[in-house]
């Protein structure tokens, strides 16, 4: 089973709202990722958690705040977003610590900021 | 820095025919991993196939196979007996080995259309 789930599927929010995206995997993977993908572009890495610790933050604005409560769950808290933050947000996971680090992606959350 | 180039922004193939998507990359590393991901309109990135650079044998997964030319830094994807469900954006990706190396470098993608 290589399933990564994400909720919600779609989200519309105003620039003053606070919302959260959720990602879950039950494959025992120890690395989890957030990507941002604009239309017709490849995904861009935002954050990486390895063994529940933030390993990589790719200079993402502070209005995006990741959280990894446990090894199966990854959240992305959103606050005071801008219209240019509208995109598809993808979560991924990988086994972690092994050489063959294949990343498995979730279905994404389509975010629209008004 | 590693770069991945997909020179074909769009391609089309007749149903049941064979199509090859090209990918080249630039790296100074001798050991690394290459991937092809498929992203249909449903949005989910699906792993199609993976190749380890130290393996000379080309990877194969059912109708999908790769032509890995390490010296030429080329990694093309061949889809045989194309089906309507193969229509998607295909991304080639590169990754260095080793714990702590998480960055996947993606190409810009090739949009594949399948004509019935």
Tens digit of pLDDT at every position of chain B (116 positions)? 679 999 999 999 999 999 999 999 999 888 889 999 999 987 889 999 999 998 888 999 999 999 999 999 999 999 999 999 999 999 999 998 765 667 889 999 999 999 99
Q: Residue A83: phi, psi to the nearest 5?
A: -55, -30
pLDDT at residue B99 in the model: 59
* Cα separation, A78 vs A91, whole angstroms: 15
Cβ A55–B100 below 8 Å, yes or no? yes
Q: What percent of chain A has pLDDT over 70?
A: 95
- Using an 8 Å Cβ cutoff, are B47 and B91 in contact? no
The pLDDT of residue B22:
98
For residue B54, the distance in angstroms to the closest alpha carbon of chain A comes to 12
Give dist(CA A63, CA A108) in Å, integer. 19
| pLDDT mean over A72-99 | 90
- Mean pLDDT, residues A69-92 taken together: 95
> CA of A80 to nearest chain B CA: how many angstroms apart?
26
Three-state DSSP state, B74: strand
- Looking at the complex, report in whole angstroms how far the Cα of residue A105 sits from the nearest Cα belonging to chain B: 6
| β strands within chain B, DSSP E | 3-5, 10-14, 19-21, 24-26, 33-39, 46-52, 60-61, 64-69, 74-79, 88-95, 105-106, 110-115
Asked whether the beta carbons of residue B33 and residue A100 sit closer than 8 angstroms, the reply is: yes
pLDDT for residue A2: 64
The mean per-residue pLDDT over the stretch A3-7 comes to 95
User: Is B46 close to A106, i.e. CB distance below 8 A?
Assistant: no
What tens digit of pLDDT does each residue of A23-65 get? 999 999 989 999 999 998 999 999 999 888 888 788 899 999 9
Decide: B97 and B2 in contact? Cβ < 8 Å.
no
pLDDT at A95 (0 to 100): 86
| SS (HEC) of A26-76 | CCCCCEEEEEEECCCCCCEEEEEEECCEEEEECCCCCCEEEEEEECCEEEE
DSSP letter for B104, please.
P
Mean pLDDT of A75-86: 95
Nearest CA to B21 among B91, B102, B99? B91
């Amino acid at each position: 089973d290589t399933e990564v789930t994400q909720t919600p599927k779609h989200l519309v929010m105003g620039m003053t709202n606070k919302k959260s995206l959720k990602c879950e995997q039950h494959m025992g993977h120890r690395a989890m990722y957030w990507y941002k993908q604009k239309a017709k572009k490849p995904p861009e890495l935002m954050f990486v958690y390895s063994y529940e610790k933030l390993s990589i933050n790719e200079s993402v604005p502070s209005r995006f705040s990741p959280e990894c409560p446990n090894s199966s769950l990854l959240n992305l808290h959103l606050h005071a977003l801008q219209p240019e933050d509208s995109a598809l947000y993808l979560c991924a996971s990988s086994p972690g610590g092994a050489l063959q680090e294949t990343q498995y992606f979730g279905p994404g959350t389509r975010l629209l900021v008004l | 820095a590693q770069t991945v180039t997909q020179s074909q922004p769009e391609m089309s193939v007749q149903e049941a025919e064979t199509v090859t998507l090209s990918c080249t990359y630039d790296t100074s590393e001798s050991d690394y991993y290459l991937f092809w991901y498929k992203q249909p309109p449903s949005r989910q990135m699906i792993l199609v196939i993976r190749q380890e650079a130290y393996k000379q044998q080309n990877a194969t997964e059912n109708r999908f196979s790769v032509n890995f030319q390490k010296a030429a830094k080329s990694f093309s994807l061949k889809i045989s007996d194309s089906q309507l469900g193969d229509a998607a954006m295909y991304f080639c990706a590169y990754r260095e080995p080793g714990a702590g190396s998480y960055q996947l470098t993606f190409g810009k993608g090739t949009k594949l259309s399948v004509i019935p």
